[in-house]
Structure 1
Amino acid sequence: MKKYFLTALATLVTVMANAQGKGVKVGYVDMEYILQKAPDYAEAKNQLEQKAQTWKQEIEVKKNEINKLKENLKTEKVLLTKELIEEREEEIAFLEKEMLDYQQKRFGPNGDLMIQKATLVKPIQDQVFNAVQDIGERMKYDFIFDKSSDMTMLFAAQRFDLSERVIRELTRAQKKEQLTKKQLKEQEKQDALDDMAAENPDQIERQKKLDEKKAAREKILEDRKKAAEEKKKAIEERRKQILEEREAKKSAKEVTKPEDKKEDAEGESAEDKKTTTAAEDKKAEAEAKKKATAEERQKLLDERKKALEEKRKKIIEDREKAKKEREEAQKKKTEENKTEQNKN
């Protein structure tokens, strides 16, 4: 065990040394945790527990029978001959040995429980192994360790834990068998987003904020478009109403009697006056519409200018943050080099 621990420790030291030299990507999984969360593991475990419970009950029945024989022998011993006592004791010893053999057969190191456990669990372990292989190749990991194995891990940062990602991979693989082609494409797109989120959570957060801003801008534009359409519709209805009124008056004028010519003249004068008023109203509406359009356009330009300014400010902040991180990393590396030189 000591030799194995030293070998594992040497492997970890080598990995960390290489990581400092060329940026090796390292992750780990907790196989026991993954198996507990795997979709098919609970069912397999339940089957094993049911069989184990049945075997335990059988052993308990045998044990009760043996205890009953012992009690009977103890009670009747004074009445039995030496030969009968020895015969019963041999029978009890035989039953005890038979019970122990049965217990060993079911629960021993090479017993039925261990064999069936390996038979039921191995396919699930293979699925987990394949999922780890896929994640390692897709995310370009150099090493993935098993935290629950014999190799002692004295410390493991949570951000390098791939266990939850493996569980998601197993669940997706199970669901993919029931999906259509369209659903598969959507699932693959979501998988890519999940991988990107696990790889770079800050980028996902930034993308989320950008999407929210884009949705807000689109909603504003949609509301403006809707308001403009409603205004246009109201103007069209007003124009239609005016035309209908004119047509109605024109029809009434055509059927007017000769004796009503004077009244027609007065009516025509009033109609001309009303037509002039309608033209003025139409002109005023056009001016108001033009003014409203100009205001909307100016407001949109101001919002775009503000959005560009915020974006430029965000880019500058990100650059300053990245610069600061590089300086801190360089400072840390310099300190580590000094520490190493002092040790030497």
Structure 2
Amino acid sequence: MKNLLFIILFLTVNSFVYGQTRGVKIGYIDMEYILQNVPDYTEAKNQLELKAQKWKQEIDVKKNEINTLKESLKTEKVLLTKELIEEREEEIAFLETELIEFQQKRFGPLGDLVTQKAVLVKPIQDQVFSAIQDIAEAQKYDFILDKSSDLTLLFAAKRHDLSDRVIRTLTRAEKRQQLSNKQLKALEEQERKEDFVDDNPALAERKKILEERKSARDSIAELRKAAAELKRKEFEDRRQKLLEEREAKKSGTVSEKSSDKEEGEAKKEEETTAEKNPEKDAAKTKAEDDKVKAQEARQKLIDDRKKEIEERKKKILEDREAAKKAREEKAKENTENKD
């Protein structure tokens, strides 16, 4: 609690001293979250866990050995002399002491687990600290706190969390080692765009809206393409049928009269079949209804997308207008204070 009060007092004093020239810029990180998302740390942690598991197995073997000796002594105690009993008890006591020493050596405060963890984690922590310093210098941060440390943060807005940016910086450094010069330039350009978006929430929101608009346009284009493809197929089918009929008439295999007769008979047969098979006619009607419903559903989806985009656009304009009004009021207030 004293540490927290001291830090708050320190930040307050600095804010008062430097607040006249520029605002104090403060950010925070979550070291545990960062380490969990760094591949090198995960690999090192897995290696250490394997070692710890092996040490636990050795401890279990020693415990089983001691328990076996105790059970054996308990069973044979009536048959043993006093000297043999004391000898076995001394052996058991020695093994128990050895077990305790082994546990302390592996899992004690200064044991192998703690020391090796420090050795494995330190290089990764150094990389994290270096990345934090680079971010602080580039973005002009005055303070960067660690949320996972003993410091108690009662509240911290998510927009001040730099953890993901630190992870991205570490990932970028690893990628750079595997890229050519051309790829490196492209990556740097992409990184600049990402950093610019991170520093401009309004731009990020606008980019999101543009992506949604693009998605809506793509959906509409796909629907139009599918409809055009369906029409083209129907046209090709009609055209092919017409060509076949013309070819048949031209070759003389089917006379015009017989063709008309066949068409009449086919039509009559179709009507008769429809009368005899009302289920088929109902199925056809249902298929047409389903097609109409599908088209209506697609149109509704498009309309909903358009409506959502318009609402987002309206909200952004309102936010901009409110921000502009706030700036004007602040400027007016400053002018009045000067007067």
Q: Is the 8 A contact 1:196 1:204 kept in 2?
A: no
Partner Cα distance (1:322, 1:40) in 2 = 44
1:87–1:180 CA distance, 2 compared to 1 (3 A): same
**Pairwise CA distance, 1:20:** 5.2
Does 1:161 find its partner at 2:161? yes
Q: Is the 8 A contact 1:40 1:124 kept in 2?
A: yes
> Which shifted more, 69-78 or 189-198?
189-198
> Which shifted more, 10-19 or 137-146?
10-19
Partner Cα distance (2:177, 2:5) in 1 = 44
Q: What do the CA deviations read for 1:121-155 (whole angstroms, capped 9, x no partner)? A: 11110111111111111111111111111111111
**Pairwise CA distance, 1:57:** 0.4
- CA-based RMSD: 3.2
Counterpart residue number, 2:322:
321
Counterpart residue number, 1:240:
none
Q: What do the CA deviations read for 1:292-327 (whole angstroms, capped 9, x no partner)? A: xxxxxxxxxxxxxxxxxxxxx999977633323336
Partner Cα distance (1:54, 1:87) in 2 = 31
1:90–1:162 CA distance, 2 compared to 1 (3 A): same
Normalising by the residue count of structure 1, what TM-score does the alignment of the two structures yield? 0.62
Q: Is the 8 A contact 2:27 2:160 kept in 1?
A: yes
Q: Tell me the number of residue pairs that the alignment of Structure 1 and Structure 2 aligns.
A: 235
Any residues of structure 2 matched to 1:183-332 within 5 Å, and which? 183-206=183-206, 320-326=321-327
Any residues of structure 2 matched to 1:119-198 within 5 Å, and which? 119-198=119-198
Q: Which amino acid aligns with 2:327?
A: R
Counterpart residue number, 2:266:
none
Q: Runs of 5+ in structure 2 lacking a partner?
A: 218-313, 335-339
Q: Which amino acid aligns with 1:322?
A: A
Normalising by the residue count of structure 2, what TM-score does the alignment of the two structures yield? 0.62
Does 1:6 find its partner at 2:5? yes
**Pairwise CA distance, 1:82:** 1.4
Partner Cα distance (1:83, 1:108) in 2 = 36
Partner Cα distance (2:316, 2:48) in 1 = 58
**Pairwise CA distance, 1:10:** 2.1
Q: Which amino acid aligns with 2:10?
A: T
**Pairwise CA distance, 1:331:** 11
Counterpart residue number, 2:291:
none
**Pairwise CA distance, 1:193:** 1.1
1:7–1:80 CA distance, 2 compared to 1 (3 A): same
Partner Cα distance (1:210, 1:17) in 2 = 41
Counterpart residue number, 1:23:
23
Partner Cα distance (2:213, 2:104) in 1 = 68
1:329–1:78 CA distance, 2 compared to 1 (3 A): farther
SS in 2 for 1:326: helix
Percent identity between the aligned chains?
66
Partner Cα distance (1:150, 1:316) in 2 = 43
Q: Is the 8 A contact 1:36 1:42 kept in 2?
A: yes
1:5–1:318 CA distance, 2 compared to 1 (3 A): closer
**Pairwise CA distance, 1:196:** 1.1
Q: Which amino acid aligns with 2:146?
A: D
**Pairwise CA distance, 1:206:** 3.9
SS in 1 for 2:39: coil
Partner Cα distance (1:213, 1:140) in 2 = 35
Q: Is the 8 A contact 2:198 2:204 kept in 1?
A: no
1:38–1:211 CA distance, 2 compared to 1 (3 A): closer
Q: Is the 8 A contact 1:39 1:171 kept in 2?
A: no
Partner Cα distance (1:53, 1:330) in 2 = 66
1:329–1:110 CA distance, 2 compared to 1 (3 A): farther
Partner Cα distance (1:71, 1:211) in 2 = 73
1:115–1:331 CA distance, 2 compared to 1 (3 A): farther
Q: What do the CA deviations read for 1:231-270 (whole angstroms, capped 9, x no partner)? A: xxxxxxxxxxxxxxxxxxxxxxxxxxxxxxxxxxxxxxxx
Partner Cα distance (2:123, 2:2) in 1 = 31
Q: Is the 8 A contact 2:48 2:117 kept in 1?
A: yes
Partner Cα distance (1:24, 1:81) in 2 = 82
Q: Is the 8 A contact 1:29 1:144 kept in 2?
A: yes
Q: Which amino acid aligns with 1:196?
A: F
1:181–1:17 CA distance, 2 compared to 1 (3 A): same
Partner Cα distance (1:140, 1:132) in 2 = 11
